[in-house]
Structures are given as C-alpha cells and as structure tokens.
Amino acid sequence: MRIVVLTGAGMSAESGISTFRDNGGLWDQYNVEDVATPEGWARNPKLVTEFYNVRRKELLGTKPCLGHELVAKLEEKHAVTVVTQNVDNLHERAGSSYVIHLHGELMKVTSSRSPNDPRYIKTLDPEHVEVKMGDLAGDGSQLRPFIVWFGEAVPEIDRAVEECEKADMLIVIGTSLNVYPAAGLTRCVRPGTPIYLIDPKPVQWNSDVPVHHIMKGASEGMKELMSLLKIEN
C-alpha cells in the first residue's frame, strides 16, 4: 500500500520544538515579517541569521517523538512518503527514508541570490550550526537559511501533489490544515482514498471528503492508528 503522511507543527511539538501559531509560540515573540519573509531578510539579514542559528541549536537538543518513530515503522510493510510542513530533521532521524520538506530544511543553508539552485545548498555539520554574516555561498552571496519564507514559491509542492495522487491512504498529523498550499493536498487524493486525521483539537475540514478524526496527539494518535491498521507498535 502507498501511504502519504502529511505532518505539521503538532508533530514536532511533542519533541519540544516551538510552534509558531499557538499561544506562546514564536509569532508571539517575533514579528513574522521580520524573520520569515524575503523583505525581512533584505532589511536585516543579521537578525534573520541569528534567529535561525537559535532555532538550529534548539533542534540539536531535541529527539524524535514516538509519533515520528511510528511513522517510520510504517515503512516495514508499506511504501511511505512523508510530506512535512516542518523544517526540522526529526522524521529523518526517526528513520523515515523518503521525506519531502515543503517549507525547507533548518539544517541547510543556501545562496541568498539563487536559494533553490542545488549547487549552493549546503547541509550544516551539527558541530558547526552557527552562520555568520560574511559566510558566503558558492556564488559569492551571503548564506541564508534554506527555508521557504512567506511570499516565496514552494518548489516541492508539485512532487507532493504527485505522491498524493498515487496514494492509497493519506494520514494527516498535527496540522491545522489552514496553511496553503499544503492544505490543498487533501484534495489531491483519488476519490474513495481513506484519510485519517490525527489532532487533539477540533479541525475545520472544508471538504466534503469524509475523514476519520483521531482526537489525540501525534504519538497516541499514531499508536491508535497502528492498531487500526493491525501493525504492531
């Protein structure tokens, strides 16, 4: 069976990663226009660079939660593609082998002139995650985070759509389904494809497609789903 797992901030929250939209989240501490837009970068690249340096150090102090591990365990019996809105590497660290990052990857940096040119995308060593002003990409421009900021195109969305169109099952974990274009992926599956939603909160589902809502957090919800799918966990 081909399974697509779409994950959002609620997935990584169980690992201690700060979310952006919840009360007390990062948007309460930072202005989104300052640290997550091309305009913010143009105004103050030093502030943006330091913001993501802190996020990387936070990530190094976290571990995948049980939910991440159970998503990886699905690969033992099924072909699994993870499509994540998260920029951390917790799915990979948990063992998932095919992960599509819609919003970029925190542990990578790239050219500020041509951010999606693969020649200039570089993975940072965990021992050296701090980027400084004056650190340059291969084209001579300042290194910037390999993050898809608000207002930028989402290069990986087409690949995600293709995976959803081929899916036999869609599992959605820890996302409000209010963030586009990711939210639109739920409409890309074939008619009749089962959709499971794991989220402890009520989620507004603007679709006539039926969904099985497991109102639990990522880890407990995945445990219940594995039981439903008769996969030992």
Hey, where are the domains in the chain? 1-16+64-103+154-233, 18-61+105-147
pLDDT, tens digit, for every residue of 54-94?
999 999 999 999 999 999 999 999 999 999 999 999 999 99
Predicted TM-score of the model (pTM) = 0.91
Mean pLDDT of the chain: 90
Residue 192 makes CB contacts below 8 A (sequence gap 6+) with none
The confidence band for 177, taking pLDDT boundaries of 50, 70 and 90, is: low
CA-wise closest residue to 174 among 231, 55, 91: 91
% of the chain surpassing 90 pLDDT: 78
Residue 217's alpha-carbon distances to 87, 92, 153, in angstroms, are 19, 20, 30
Whether 199 contacts 171, CB under 8 Å: no
Strand order in 2-7's β-sheet?
99-101, 79-84, 2-7, 169-173, 195-198, 212-214
Look at 11-15, 19-23, 152-156, 217-221 and tell me which has the smallest mean pLDDT. 19-23
Q: Letter for the amino acid at 128?
A: H
Question: How much is the pLDDT for 23?
Answer: 47
- Fold assignment, 1-16+64-103+154-233: Rossmann fold (3.40.50)
Q: How confident is the model at residue 179 (pLDDT cuts 50, 70, 90)?
A: low
The alpha carbon of residue 43 and the mean position of all alpha carbons in its chain are separated, in whole angstroms, by 26
Lowest model confidence (mean pLDDT) among 113-117, 139-143, 176-180: 176-180
139 Cβ contact list (under 8 Å, min separation 6): 111, 113, 114, 117, 119, 120
Angle between helices 66-73 and 218-228 (to 10 degrees): 30
Give the CA dihedral 18, 20, 25, 27, nearest 10 degrees.
Answer: 130
Picking from 82-91, 153-162, 196-205, which range would have the lowest pLDDT averaged per residue?
196-205
CATH of domain 18-61+105-147: 3.30.1600.10
- Ranked by mean pLDDT, the top range of 7-11, 55-59, 130-134 is 130-134
Catalytic positions, written as ranges = 103
Torsional sign, CA 21, 24, 25, 26: positive
